[in-house]
Structure formats: C-alpha cells, structure tokens
A = this chain, B = another copy of it.
Amino acid sequence: MASIREVAKLAQVAPSTVSRALNGSGYVAEETKEKIREAVDELDYVPNQWIRNLYQQKTGIIGVMTPEIIHPYFSSLWSFLELELHKYGYNMMLCNTSGKKEIEREYLDTLERNLFDGMIIGAAFLPDKYYKKIQKPIISLDRIISGVPLVTSDHVRGGDIAARKLLEKGCKRLLNLSDPNEKMVASSRSGESIIRVMEENGAEVVTESFLWIDVIHYSRSIRRAREILKAHPNLDGIVANDLCASAFLKIAGEMGISVPRDLKIIAYDGTYITDFNFKTIAAIQQDVALIAKEAVRVLIKLINRQPLENDEIYVPVHYKGGDTV
C-alpha cells in the first residue's frame, strides 16, 4: 500500500502538495499536478479514506439496528433507507441483532466509538437508559424513547382504517395479535386502535400473543396460526403483519374456512408478499419509501446540529384492497 509520502517522493514534491492536488484544495501548478498524477499511477496509490475521516471528524457510515432482515417489511425498509442515505453520501451498516441484547449493546458501543456518524434504530430491546445516554445522533423507527426523535407510520390511523373496514364487512369477532415482549413501541398503537374501534362498535376482540420469533420463522408462524384458529373457531376477522396474515390465509384454506366469507383477513404492512397468493391479501400499507426519506432527513439534521421542528413524525398509511375482505 503506497502512502502519500511515497507518491510525494517519486513526484519530487511535498506530501502536502500531493494532498492538495488530489483534493483540489489550494493551488497546484498544472505541471506539478501532472507529475503527481504520474506518480499516483506508477504506485497505484489510493488515499486511505479512514485517515481522511480523521480530519473530517466523520466516517460517513450510519448504523441501522435491526432485529433481523428477512421479513419483507424490513427488507423493503432497509432497501429504501440505503438508497436514501446514499443520496446524502452516507453508507449504511446493517446491525443485525437477532433480537439479542448483547449484540445490541455491542453496536451501541460501536456508535459511541465513533465508527458511525449516527444510528437508526429499527427495533430495540434494551432498556431506555442505554439509548438516552448516547451522545450521538440517533432516531427511532418504532420504539418510543423520550429524547429520541421518532419517525414511524401513523399506526393509530392504520388500526382505525383496518377496524372500520372489517366492521363494514360485518366482522363481529376479531383476532388481534401482539408480542407481549414488545413494549413502548409505536407499532403497537395499531392494535390498541383496532381494539378501541371494534369495541366501540360492539364487536368482540380476542387478543393472542404471537412472538417475534414465530413471525420470522415461517414454519413456526404456520404452527402458531393453526393453534390459534383451532382455539378460536368462531373468529371472523384477523389483522396481522404480512407474514402472519399469509400464514393464517394458508391455514384457513387447510382447515376449510372460507375467506373472505367466514373469515376476513387484513395484512398489516402491505409488502409485495401480500400479492403472492391467488387470493391477494387486503392490507394496511406502510409507506416504507417515505419512512426512509423522513428518517434520513431528520437524522441528517441531527448530524448537522440543526434544530428539529418536530421530533415525532407520523407517515400516512394506505388501505390496499384485496380478495380477503
């Protein structure tokens, strides 16, 4: 690995001149530039970006904390986020925690050790205090942490739309899924909203737990969906994330339950997988592109120490029709 000094020596100039020539900062005679260019070619010199970062006091890397990346909601979200960060010259580092607290702590450490210029928290399992003490720019996409800006979907509205749609179709007994381990997350508001609207309108709501781990392993989703449908044979409506919704649709078919006649299903997320089946699944669609855009906009403001006009941003959701309601 050639260094700037070697280039300087070969071109018979000072290292600082090489630096200036290469960065276009300050004056360098065209003739000198030429000599330097030759030396660079000769030695195959490539400046070390890490070292440069030292002076810029930045790394150009944004960490993205995610519990996993296989769920299409996350794949899509991170895909858009990457594109968006790239526009601003940032690279994205996916920090996959697999839901493990130690790994999450490790990555927060990495942030504090200045490897990232900022961090986007897709999901968090550590107590609030770990996030609160962080001195660097962070934003959250779901977990509600006081002092940490939140960019998320308008889940209250999402739950509302879903519930009203089901009521309109005559649902009387709805299944609501929740992961008891996830507390203080914005996404749980959709469930609360669904329950409120359903009950206000005289419908019954059955809440069952559906663990995170069961969502990401599809075979487990299937098993859990079967358990739940067997335990509650008289359900007539389900709102669940794309993967779960898909599992319920499959199990309903297996059990001979007619969808949408006897059971109506609305997926929550609305990624492309809701179009996979012959019956497309109706969905509350999150606008992942806009979430990504807003998240990056806010993070960049934080990094540039600009004031935030708003530290809670709610991105609109949309209803997408399908064959399951």
Contacts of A231 in B (CB 8 A): none
**A48 on interface, CB distance cutoff 8 Å:** yes
Known: A75-B70, A93-B91, A114-B49. A246 touches B82 (CB 8 A): no
Check B70 against A83 for contact (C-beta < 8 Å): no
Say yes or no for A276: interface residue by CB 8 A criterion.
yes
Q: Which of B50, B92, B93, B278 sits near A253, CB closer than 8 Å?
A: B278
Establish whether residues B278 and A276, one from each chain, have CB atoms under 8 Å apart when the complex forms. Answer: no
Contacts of A312 in B (CB 8 A): none
Nearest CB in chain B: distance from A129 CB, A? 14
State whether A250 touches B272 (Cβ < 8 A).
no
B72 lies within 8 A of A69 (CB): no
B276 engages A246 (CB within 8 Å): yes
With A96-B83, A273-B276, A276-B250 given, is the CB distance from A59 to B50 under 8 Å? yes
A-side interface residues, number (CB < 8 Å): 52
Q: Are A272 and B218 closer than 8 Å at their CB atoms?
A: yes
Chain B residues with CB under 8 A of A272: 70, 218-219
Is the beta-carbon distance between A79 and B68 smaller than 8 angstroms? yes
Complex CA–CA separation, A275 to B221 (angstroms) = 11
Q: Which of B50, B96, B112 is within 8 Å of A114, CB to CB?
A: B50
Q: Which 8 A-B pairs have the closest CB atoms?
A: A49-B113, A218-B272, A253-B278, A46-B112, A82-B96, A70-B75, A48-B114, A75-B75
Listed A/B pairs (24) with beta-carbon separation below 8 Å:
A46-B109, A49-B110, A49-B113, A49-B115, A50-B50, A50-B114, A61-B93, A68-B79, A69-B79, A70-B75, A70-B76, A72-B72, A79-B96, A82-B94, A83-B96, A86-B96, A91-B95, A218-B275, A219-B272, A249-B278, A250-B276, A253-B278, A276-B276, A277-B278
